[in-house]
Amino acid sequence: MSDTESAIAVIRAMAAAMEENRQWLTRLDSEIGDGDHGTNMHRGFQAALERLDGAEPSSAADALKAVSMALISKVGGAAGPLYGTAFLRASTTLSGKENVSAEETAEALEAALAGVKQRGKAQAGDKTMVDALEPAVAAAKEAASSGKGVAEVFRAAAEAAAEGAEATVPLAARRGRASYLGQRAAGHKDPGAASTHLLLDAAARALESS
């Protein structure tokens, strides 16, 4: 598969994961937010698929940019613009690159994290998607520097994101809607951290099976 085809396969797998987990993500968000995260992510990724079908991306960067535009324009709420920024930064990092390496993949994830943190001002421990994405980036960089391939980089990232998402359970939230609940958010997994894990896991699975 070309890089463009791989990126499209990854995005399709992400969209499928958002469809399969729509209700679960919405349930998590109804516990500490307003119960729309699953619907938001599903709508955003359906819009991303429509864009991809309409535009025939010419590179992985192009495909990621289409996702970004769909998420920014079609998803209200906090997560749409934040994930939109993440995909846009990843796209910019990969722009002009062919045969995207494991290192470049890790760099793209790192840029995505930087974008989320810059836009949302959350730090690790605030009970947001950053709690999944930050350890994922560290694991991705570690995997890339130890000679692993792109699929393994995503697998390492997904595993770290799963742990990071789990670690949000006992936390009180300091960003986003859940922060209105103060200590009452403790005992619930953060929906955005959960979706970050699902997206990285979908990426890993798409690349492992290609």
Residues that bind ligand ADP (CB under 6 A): 29, 33-34, 36-37, 40, 77-79, 82, 116, 120-122, 128-130, 175-177, 190-193
Shortest distance (Å) from residue 84 CB to ligand ADP: 12
- DSSP sequence for 166-204: HTTTTPPP-SSGGGGGGGGGTTS--HHHHHHHHHHHHHH
For ligand ADP, give the closer residue by CB, 61 or 200. 200
Closest chain position to ligand ADP (CB): 192
Shortest distance (Å) from residue 53 CB to ligand ADP: 24
User: x/- binding map, residues 11-30, to Mg ion, per CB under 5 A?
Assistant: ------------------x-
For ligand ADP, give the closer residue by CB, 130 or 139. 130
Query: 114: closest CA among 90, 142, 144?
Result: 90
Question: Do 196 and 189 meet the contact criterion of CB atoms below 8 Å apart?
Answer: no
The partner in contact with residue 151, picked from Mg ion, ligand ADP, none with C-beta cut-offs of 5 to 8 angstroms by kind, is none
Question: Do 60 and 2 meet the contact criterion of CB atoms below 8 Å apart?
Answer: no
User: x/- binding map, residues 53-92, to Mg ion, per CB under 5 A?
Assistant: ----------------------------------------
The neighbour count for residue 170, using CB atoms within 10 Å, is: 12
Give per-residue burial for 6-21: e unless 16+ CB within 10 Å, then b: bbbbbbbbbbebbeeb
Q: What is the Cα–Cα distance from 31 to 25, expressed in whole angstroms?
A: 10
36 binds Mg ion (CB under 5 A): yes
Provide CB contacts within 8 A for 44, sequence distance 6+: 18, 70, 71, 74, 75, 80, 83
Q: What is the Cα–Cα distance from 100 to 108, expressed in whole angstroms?
A: 10
Q: What is the Cα–Cα distance from 82 to 7, expressed in whole angstroms?
A: 20
Shortest distance (Å) from residue 26 CB to Mg ion: 8
34 binds Mg ion (CB under 5 A): yes
The partner in contact with residue 128, picked from Mg ion, ligand ADP, none with C-beta cut-offs of 5 to 8 angstroms by kind, is ligand ADP
For ligand ADP, give the closer residue by CB, 6 or 195. 195
104 binds Mg ion (CB under 5 A): no
Chain residues binding Mg ion by CB under 5 A are: 29, 33-34, 36-37
